[in-house]
A = this chain, B = another copy of it.
Amino acid sequence: MAKSFVTSIDVAERAGVSRSAVSRTFTAGASVSPDVRQRVLKAAQELGYRVNRLAQTLNTSSSNLVGVVGANLSSPFIAKQLDMLSLGLLRRGQQCLLLNAADARSDIAPLIELIFEFRARAIVVLSGEPPASIVDECLANGVKLIVINRLMTRPDTDVILSDDILGARLAAERLLAARCRKVAVVCSGSLTPTQVRRATTFSDVVREHGGAVVRWSEGPTAYETGVAAAHALLADEQIDGAFCVTDLMALGFLDAARHDLQRSVPDDLSVIGFDDIPQSAWKAYDLTTVGQSFSVLTDAVLAALDHDDGEVSTQMVPVTLIERGTVHK
């Protein structure tokens, strides 16, 4: 029982060729005679040889490792993104080094530095915003940096944004069309740029049309926060509509409104969410929401990964209003 892996030199000996020949056999588009190739492959097979990516990366200095950092990996929205992203990366022959940022407010800089140490070729930030120093470091070392849903204030980073402005506008217009007069807008306490954009746009539109707006922003971005918001806000019986900037919070809001506060949705109260997570389509909720396509989002990330040199892009992920059953007709 060997404790260490088989090396190319073992294979070379067994096949009666040089190490170079082995290397060439496992390098796409190298020139090896079919004969040698077969012998090497056979020996490798018998010995259980696996190329050592570490050594390989060391002198080609181009790993196919992509660092992914995110928080709340088990929240439906992030989990879905991670699922699709990791699958996409795998399909493209890239590996995913996953760093869990514990919670949304934790500093992601140390995690990104860890990624540097593995010489990843790119970094995808699903949640949180990398500090300027990190961005500089990526730039200096030729590491692609892709940030999702954070409006970076610098033009040298790839940014993927959901169309929050349009989404919030659609939500506002839909609630106005349902004749809501006093609406709640629910954010979490971690006022991310995305949440702020959604909330303020929504509020502006509603006010423009003469509606009243009450705002909540406390707690984590979670189901429970929606519950808490409903309890606090719906004491005011005049509120007849709510826009939760996240589906997860919308589901909590909805549940509390219906089950704790005996509000009838959508007759009595209309609710709209944002994101279109899988649970929103479940029959118990049937939540009307602003949807962003996960596959478009993932494709945007993968596309940004491709822009191998220099060029930086800002991509907007389109949104649509998904009419379901939580808004009065």
| A interface residue numbers (CB < 8 A to B) | 1-5, 48, 50-55, 57-58, 61, 63, 68, 72-74, 76, 79-80, 82-84, 86-87, 90, 95-100, 102, 111, 113-114, 116-119, 137, 139-142, 223, 227, 251-252, 254-256, 258-260, 278-279, 282-285
Contact = CB atoms under 8 A, between A and B. Distances in A.
A50 B83 CA distance: 29
Given A5-B141, A74-B278, A95-B114, 7 more contacts: A4-B61, A4-B142, A5-B119, A50-B113, A72-B83, A95-B118, A255-B282
Contact of A118 (B3, B53, B79, B256): B53
A2 B141 contact: yes
- Kindly name the residue among A55, A100, A223, A285 whose own CB sees the greatest number of chain B CB atoms within 10 A: A100
A223 B282 contact: yes
Contacts of A114: 95
Contacts of A141: 2-5, 48
8 contacts: A1-B140, A5-B141, A54-B55, A54-B58, A74-B82, A79-B83, A255-B282, A279-B279
A261 B179 CA distance: 32
A283 B260 CA distance: 9
Given A79-B79, A141-B2, A283-B259, A54 B51 contact: no
A97 B73 CA distance: 15
A118 B64 CA distance: 11
Contact of A97 (B52, B97, B284): B97
- Kindly name the residue among A1, A255, A283 whose own CB sees the greatest number of chain B CB atoms within 10 A: A283
A78 B19 CA distance: 42
Contacts of A79: 73-74, 76, 79, 82-83
A140 B2 contact: yes
A73 B285 CA distance: 23
B87 A100 contact: yes
The 8 closest A-B pairs by CB, nearest first: A255-B283, A79-B79, A74-B83, A73-B83, A284-B284, A86-B100, A74-B79, A98-B98
Contact of A54 (B1, B50, B119, B251): B119
